[in-house]
Structures are given as structure tokens and as C-alpha cells.
Structure 1
Amino acid sequence: MLLSIKELEEAAVTHPEIADYLEKNPRPAFTSVDLAVMRKGMEAMEKGYNIWTAPPFTGSETYHDIPMRDGFKSSLKVQRPAEGGTGPLIVLAFGGGFVGGTNEQFEKTGRILVNLFNATVVSISYRVAPEHKFPAAQNDTQDSMRWIADNATGPVLQADPKKGFIMGGISAGGAMTACFSRLFQEEPLAHPLTAQWLAIPSVMSADSVPEKYKDYYLSTTQQAKGKFFSQATRDWLNTQVEADFTSPLRYAINAKQPLSGQPRTYFQVDGADPLRDDALIYDEMLKEAGVETKVDMYPGCPHGHFCSYAGLDITNRANIDTFVGFGWLLGREVSREEASRELAL
């Protein structure tokens, strides 16, 4: 989805609702390079993403430890209908800059996906930096995805991936989703992915932007001194993670597998986010390769606004869009009214 230079510049201007909220509710800039402070902020963001007063959940929520390649036991949170037939399988990877976050991030999201689609929803865990450097998170995610695919129809998950098998995530989770969706073309899972959800993902670095799109890669410069996700913060995160920017495990743009083999893809993009143009350019590349895509963009909104600004119309819109978008990924129509009811908006 390529926008004009003027549209990209306009998208970077703070949305009036966000500006008004911040004027009435000042908050510190998200520029800390203190790990404890940053993790505390991420914990608050997770709580904010689960603040909806959603309808009662009658399904089941269980935790299961599965083995990683080094013997470590990683936790899966499994949400599924209490009873009834098998449904699609949805795997969610949390965000947190590869230094924070937990598999509780999608508690309400998972419940609503169960309610709407009779789905089995699995929120994975992965180890984060600086305690576990790159590619620890990627290895855990890959191992989790293989276990989930191998056990999709078994007693723990009781899903039917033929009805849909989606991988998705926010920010770091979206980045890994994009990477592994490419990798699994060459190293197939027991069941193929049918769709992916990429919310505010990082999929390329400034050095890896294809030449034909360089003029449209403006968001990192526009937000370099941004209050909530500055270049200084991103640089600090990179020192914690120590990722290889040329690796296909860090950026999907580095993958060699053809884009034409990618599944249906749904993007959610914040306009005042340094990662905005990662998503918009990658969407354009997928479309050019013949992949079905859908994009919802929120001009003037900072990175992850839908997790951090509860009650705003622009936040509600994004959260409703998420479930309408999952319906699109599954080939099912979900009305905005239906999604709004589930969110109790």
C-alpha cells in the first residue's frame, strides 16, 4: 500500500484524539534505556490491552509446558471452546521489542477469537533479551510453532487447521510471524499456515529497503526524535538483542523464499510509528506477488496505540478492526457491530 509523500507526511502528524488525551493525561516519553523501567511500561501496556469489559468467557484456559531445542520448557496458553466441534487454530506471539512481554498479552483477544470463531487460540512464550540474545526468541518461536502444528488435532489443542491456521502478532511478534511465514514455505509445518496477522511489525531495516521503495521509507526519519518510540530507544533495544540485521530470522525482507508463496495477510499500521513504512512497503511487495492483503491504517497514531489509549474512538476502531480482520483471514464475515458487542464497546 504505497501512499504519496504528502500522505505519508500527513500520517505522521499526531491524531487529534491522541493529542487531546496526552494534554489531559501527560505521560513520560517512552525513551528510557533502563530495562526495569521499560519492562514496567510494557507490563502496563499489556494491562491496557486487556482492559475491555468483555462478555463473560465460558471457554477453557489452560497452560502447557513444551520442550525447546535446548531442553528449556516454554509455556503455551491455550484458550478454546468449553465444548463443541473443532475450529480453526490461531497462534499469537506477543510484542515487547524482544526485551519484554508475556503470553498474557492476548488474554481478552484470545477469548473473543474463541467466541467469534469457535477457535483454539494459542499464545506462545519466548525468551527475551538481554538475558537471551538473538536468535533465542526466534528459536523458541519456531520450536513452539512446530509443536503446535504437530499436535494441532491432539487432546491439548483439539483444533482443525483445515478450517484455518493463522499465525499473528504485534510488533516483535508480528516481525517473527512475517519471518516464519516465509521460512515455513521451505521447511513446511505439519499443517500449512493459511493466513497471517501482522500488527505494527518490523520487517526490514533502512539498509534492506528495496531500491524501488526507498523514496517511500520515511517513517524512521519522521519519528527519529518521537516521544514514544525514538531512534535512540530503537538503538538501545538493538544493543540489548544483538540481532543480525541480515538474517531472515530478524527481518522477513531478507528471506529468499518467493513472496508469491505467502498466505493471505492482514496488516494493522500506525501512522506516527517508525515501523509504519515497513508494513506499507511489505504489503505492496506482497500484492505485487499476487498475495491477498488487507490493510487498516491509523493516521497520527503512535506505535501500539490500540494497547495504550483505552476508550478513544481511534483505539476502539483499531480493536474492532482486529476482529473484522481475523474474519477476513478466515473467510468469514464479522460485522463491526458484532465485534463491538464482543468488546463491550
Structure 2
Amino acid sequence: MAEYRHLAEPQPEFVDWPNNLPPGIEITWMTRDRKPIEPEPGLTIEEFEIPARDGYLLYVRSYRPAGNNDKLPLLVYFHGGGWVLGTADTDDQLCRTLTRALPLLVLNAEYRLAPEHKFPQGWNDSYDVVEWCATEKAQQQLNTDISKGFLVGGTSAGANFTAGIAHYARDAKLSPPITGLLLIAGTVIDTDAMPEKYRDQILSMDEIDIAPGLSREGVEHFARLYGADPADKRRSPLLFDSTAGIAEKAVVGVCGWDPRRDEMLLFEKLLRDNGIATRLRVYAGMPHGFWTVVRNLPASQEWYEQVVGDVEWLLE
């Protein structure tokens, strides 16, 4: 999509990275570390485990407004990290922000990471969490009513899982069905499996080879570690015949200075063309996952506020 090249013009804070960051801005690099939960007034945060299909126990962290004993709608959230990095801590701030603002239960779910656990292990773990959440047992345990809203979302690799899970859940007739998707800075196609009909619409992977958040070299490195077949639809959900019926609504967040930009812009269009109500957020000149790396940057704080409004829209 050549008309979107201007979106890669970096914002001043990211020129000559990281030398132009304002004073006092902290850089947080993604790791595999998970710290003990820090309590917060007004929130009830709990941790427990969900069994995967092979019996492995997956760590999850739930957030709900303290004192709210209503059966709440649910957002299942998967962190980013290129299928290789990240824990529940990665997007803990987002989960807290959402639960402070909305009558919602957020389930922040971990999954096994590559290269120790190659594809499709992380995908299977994530699907197993969503499938578990749809059960009556899970709704009783979480005190949720997903007929009020059954949202699935994530950033980067988590958004990749979300897109694939939504298609598989539709085809498996998961009940209750997923109602809304939160797809932030995701990926829906491996370049080695790119359909010819989309090649002239997905140009950002070649045009944005170096950027602070994610480079072409980084994309290829994570792909090697993940070990997915490029043509497997769980890795490349753009290969499904249609997005129709995978949800009622979807929010798609796209960073302008991101190699993955164009595939997500195309995916949002396909969602819209197939009758799914969409809300597109484009962060011009911003690198992949900027809100995770520089969390106290003013633009990141605005991002958190926007996501609250977007999730509220998904629940309407």
C-alpha cells in the first residue's frame, strides 16, 4: 500500500533512537521475567493455572474491579514478544488500566515460548485458554457472563494468535461465540506465504527494514525461532478464505513505522468488507509496540486511554 508510506516518517522522539527521548522517559526492554503481583487499591488481581490439552498448567492472571461481584464480560488477552519473549508482566499495565475504567474481567494469559516450545505450542496453549473460558465451569470460576461480551485480543504475537483463534473458533462453532477482537500491531501473514493478489498491497516489510521497535532482521529472527510453516493458517490467518463471522466487532491498531503495518491495514479492510464493524487506529510515525518500550511517554499514555475507549466500544 504505497499510499501509506508517509506513515513511516518517524515522530521526533524516535529519530536517532533513543537520543531524542524527553528527559525522564524510561526504556523497558521485554524479557521473560515475571515478578510477583503488586496489589493495587480498587483492583482484585489473582493468579492461577489453566490446564492445556497436554496437561501442562498455563499461568494466567485475572483482573476485576474490587468489590464488583456482578457477572462481568470477559477479555482474554495475550502478550506480545515475537512468540519468544514476554510474560503476564508485559501488558500488566494495560490490563490494570482497562479494569480500572470498565466493568470488565481481564484474563492475562501466558503461553509456552519458542524456541524451547516451537509452533504450534504457543498457539495451541492460547486456543486452549479461550476454549476453557467458554465453559460453564470457567464462567462460574471467573464470575463472568460472556453473553455480555466475549472479547479476545493481544499485541504483536498475541494479536497473531487472536486472528487465528477467531477463525478456528468460528469454524468449530465455539459457544458462546467470540464477540469482539482487539488486534494491536499484529501479523497475519508470513512473507514466504504471501498470496500473489496481495503482494502489491503489502509493501511495508520491504520498505521498513530498520526501526526501533521491530526491524526486518528482527522479524526474520523471531520467525526462525518460532519455526512455523509459513503456509499454516495458524501462522498466516490472512490465508483463510473469509473473515466473515469471526466476531461482531474488531479494533485494529497499526503502528506507522512498523514492518507489519500494511498487512494489518489490509486485514482491517477484509474484516470490514466481510460485515464486521471495525475501528482502525493508526499511530503515524510510531514504531512497533512503542507503548511497551517507553510506557511513560505522553504518546504511550494517550495510547492507553484510547484502548480503554476502544474496548468500551467492543462491549457496546
**What's the counterpart of residue 339 of structure 1?**
none
1:99 aligns with 2:95: no
How much has 1:297 moved relative to structure 2? 0.6
1:16 aligns with 2:7: no
Task: Map 1:28-43; keep pairs closer than 5 Å.
Answer: 41-43=29-31
Among 102, 109, 133, the alignment partner of 2:94 is: 109
1:90 aligns with 2:86: no
Normalised to the residue count of structure 1, the TM-score between the two structures is 0.82
1:190 aligns with 2:175: yes
**What's the counterpart of residue 52 of structure 2?**
68
Among 62, 65, 68, the alignment partner of 1:78 is: 62
State the SS of the aligned residue for 2:304: helix
Q: 1:161 to 1:176 in 2, by over 3 A?
A: same
* Cα separation, 2, equivalents of 1:213 and 1:73: 39
1:153 aligns with 2:139: yes
* Cα separation, 2, equivalents of 1:228 and 1:169: 17
* Cα separation, 2, equivalents of 1:66 and 1:165: 18
Residue pair 1:199, 1:269 contacting (<8 A) in 2 also: yes
* Cα separation, 2, equivalents of 1:206 and 1:239: 13
**What's the counterpart of residue 118 of structure 1?**
103
1:249 aligns with 2:234: yes
Residue pair 1:152, 1:160 contacting (<8 A) in 2 also: no
How much has 1:44 moved relative to structure 2? 9.5
1:129 aligns with 2:114: yes
Q: Letter of the aligned partner of 2:6 in structure 1?
A: E
**What's the counterpart of residue 270 of structure 1?**
255
* Cα separation, 1, equivalents of 2:196 and 2:245: 22
**What's the counterpart of residue 240 of structure 1?**
225
How much has 1:66 moved relative to structure 2? 1.8
**What's the counterpart of residue 188 of structure 2?**
203
CA offsets 1:47-84 (integer angstroms, 9 cap, x no match):
9xx9xxxx953231111112112121111111123333
* Cα separation, 1, equivalents of 2:214 and 2:113: 19
CA offsets 1:262-316 (integer angstroms, 9 cap, x no match):
2110011100000111110001111111211111111111110111223433322
Q: Letter of the aligned partner of 2:280 in structure 1?
A: V
* Cα separation, 1, equivalents of 2:21 and 2:299: 16
* Cα separation, 2, equivalents of 1:299 and 1:46: 31
Residue pair 2:29, 2:293 contacting (<8 A) in 1 also: no
Q: Letter of the aligned partner of 1:272 in structure 2?
A: W
Select between 207-216 and 246-255 the one with higher mean Cα deviation. 207-216
**What's the counterpart of residue 244 of structure 2?**
260
Q: Letter of the aligned partner of 1:271 in structure 2?
A: G
State the SS of the aligned residue for 1:74: strand
How much has 1:212 moved relative to structure 2? 4.3
State the SS of the aligned residue for 1:22: coil
**What's the counterpart of residue 58 of structure 1?**
42
Between Structure 1 and Structure 2, the one with more helix by share is: 1
Equivalenced residue count is 306
CA offsets 1:11-38 (integer angstroms, 9 cap, x no match):
1111123227732459xxxxxxxxxxxx
**What's the counterpart of residue 144 of structure 1?**
129
**How high is the sequence identity, in percent, across the aligned residues?**
30
State the SS of the aligned residue for 2:152: strand
**What's the counterpart of residue 301 of structure 1?**
286
How much has 1:206 moved relative to structure 2? 2.7
Residue pair 1:208, 1:253 contacting (<8 A) in 2 also: no
* Cα separation, 2, equivalents of 1:238 and 1:200: 16
How much has 1:144 moved relative to structure 2? 1.2
When the two chains are superposed, the root-mean-square deviation of aligned CA atoms in Å is 2.5
Between Structure 1 and Structure 2, the one with more strand by share is: 2
Q: Letter of the aligned partner of 2:183 in structure 1?
A: L
* Cα separation, 1, equivalents of 2:304 and 2:33: 14
CA offsets 1:143-189 (integer angstroms, 9 cap, x no match):
111112113421x2001101111000000000000000011011132
State the SS of the aligned residue for 2:312: helix
Residue pair 2:156, 2:185 contacting (<8 A) in 1 also: yes
Structure 1: runs of 5+ lacking an equivalent: 27-39, 332-345
